Amino acid sequence: MINRRNMLKGTAAGVGVALGSSLAPNIARAAAAQQGAPKRVIFFMQNQGFDPATCIPEGMSSSGSLAQAKLPEPIEALEPFKERLHIINGLHGIHTSPSHSAFFGALGGYRGSDGVPPSGATIDYELSKVLPQTLLPHLCIGMDSIENMKTKPTIATLSASGAGQPIFMHSNPNHLYQMLFGGISTGDIRLQHEARSNVFNQIEMLAANKGRALPAADQRRYGQYVQGFQEVNGLRDRLDTVANHLRKFAPTVDERYTKPEFETDWHDVLLDLGISALTSGITNTLTIGSGRGEIFGAWKGLGLEEQGHNLGHMQQPDNPIWIKIRQYNSRMLVRIMEALESVPEDSGTMMDNTLIVYTSNNADKQHTNGANWPVMLLGNCGGIFKTGCFTQMDGKRPINALYTTLLRAAGKNVDRFNMNDKLAKKFDASTGPLKEVLA
């Protein structure tokens, strides 16, 4: 497998040799990818909890087929895709102490809290190392109120590449568009892209020079900062080398980018950018943080005036506000699936090789102990995952077991994820993947 650090630092020519001349749309498809294994994974994390009553069909209390069931109103948009859906209830995340949010712990499967740095890599990053290599290994996008997205266009609360190494999510679609497609743009966007690129180049050089005068211990820490700019600048150069390919996938920039009426305008175009990054093959690991892993979030474009922390104090079942939010999420999931289904891949479509994981960053509700952590999976990746069904777990296996399952499916032979024997003895009744999930 290609070494990710070397690939990120390699020249455009070197990257071209490393990635080969694979067929579109996967400009970085691995020739030796495991047959039937997922080629891309998408995580959709909604804050404030995921009440199981908003996704489990009425009358279903035990595991069974969804074929004759009617999906609840909040997720009714998924009804046409029911045969690709697997609803899982009864996993737990008690050890993450989620409360208002587990933050990095939601995808890391470890204790998390507000302002606490990650204690290890999260599952989305770990999967990005196992899945076929791409120019941008991992993309995170975050959706929030328009005020929060403007004042904090990048924030790190959900994903991490290791202990103390958070991964930032992008919330300003103009900045993200410039990063991904600025090299093929024209007019003001092109000028802004070039201006930002020049600034980043200058900062990288200044930071590198400044760091040489620091003590050895500080140089190491400063080196991580410099490397961040190296990777951003290197990514821009590499994307320029596949400009002709990217032109086929770049979204059209309209007033939703520059003059959004509501935050949902930015939510929608951020999703467009995430989909474009997937269909173009720029990335194969996408994390969407609706509410950005915190206790905020707003959906005024849906006609909802309530926002932020107050939403978490409302019961979700039969609540018209939460029905609208969950329906909006479900429509986003449909947009992703339809986009991936429209692109041929192998003998089928991109969706045939994709898994979508939908859940919350704080289990079933805002103030929770994490005893129940509902999850929805969409896609079977060539038959590797069970679909068209509901599975009721007994509450004795943690979300880490699901993440172990995803890594196993992607080809990494592991029995646990971020859980040592001492922790597992207390919080996991078994070992290895969830047999209830795999076909």
**Domain membership flag for residue 230:** no
pLDDT band at 355; cut points 50, 70, 90 = very high
Which pLDDT belongs to residue 182? 77
The four Cα atoms 289, 292, 296, 301 give a dihedral, to 10 degrees, of -50
Residue 259 three-state SS: coil
Which pLDDT belongs to residue 209? 58
Question: What's the domain count of the chain?
Answer: 1
Which pLDDT belongs to residue 229? 45
Which whole number is the average pLDDT over 378-390?
A: 96
End-to-end CA separation in angstroms for the chain: 27
**Domain membership flag for residue 17:** yes
Give the range among 174-188, 349-363, 418-432 with minimum mean pLDDT: 174-188
pLDDT band at 346; cut points 50, 70, 90 = very high
Which conformational region is residue 49 in: left (phi greater than 0), alpha (psi within -120 to 50 degrees), or beta?
left
Tens digits of per-residue pLDDT, 358-369? Answer: 999 999 998 899
Tens digits of per-residue pLDDT, 391-437? Answer: 999 999 999 999 999 999 999 999 999 999 999 999 999 999 999 99
Which pLDDT belongs to residue 26? 40
Whole domain around residue 390: which residue ranges? 4-176+250-427
Which pLDDT belongs to residue 379? 97
Top mean pLDDT of 115-129, 224-238, 244-258 is at: 115-129
**Domain membership flag for residue 323:** yes
**Domain membership flag for residue 370:** yes
Q: What is the DSSP letter of 403?
A: H
**77 or 190, higher pLDDT:** 77
pLDDT band at 256; cut points 50, 70, 90 = very high
Q: Is the pTM of this model over 0.75?
A: yes
Whether the per-residue pLDDT at 7 is higher than 70: the answer is no
Tens digits of per-residue pLDDT, 97-150? Answer: 998 899 999 999 999 999 899 999 999 999 999 999 998 889 999 999 999 999
Please name the residues in contact with 291: beta carbons below 8 A apart, sequence gap of 6 or more: 45, 46, 47, 48, 143, 144, 297, 361
The DSSP code sequence of 213-282 is: TS-HHHHHHHHHHHHHHHHHHHHHHHHHHTHHHHTTTPPPP-HHHHS-SSHHHHHHHHHHHHHHHHHTTS
Q: In whole numbers, what is the pLDDT of the chain averaged over residues?
A: 85
Nearest to 389 by CA among 41, 139, 67: 67
Whether the per-residue pLDDT at 275 is higher than 80: the answer is yes
Q: By the 8 A CB rule, do 84 and 378 touch?
A: yes
Question: Could you tell me the CATH number of the domain that includes residue 398?
Answer: 3.40.720
Which conformational region is residue 318 in: left (phi greater than 0), alpha (psi within -120 to 50 degrees), or beta?
left
**Domain membership flag for residue 410:** yes
**Domain membership flag for residue 192:** no
For residue 174 the two structure tokens come to: 């103009």
Placement of tokens 């939601």 in the chain: 106
Tens digits of per-residue pLDDT, 188-224? Answer: 654 554 445 454 444 445 555 555 555 555 555 555 5
**Domain membership flag for residue 136:** yes
**Domain membership flag for residue 225:** no
Whether the per-residue pLDDT at 2 is higher than 60: the answer is no
pLDDT band at 9; cut points 50, 70, 90 = very low
pLDDT band at 225; cut points 50, 70, 90 = very low
Which pLDDT belongs to residue 239? 79
Placement of tokens 């899982």 in the chain: 88
**27 or 65, higher pLDDT:** 65
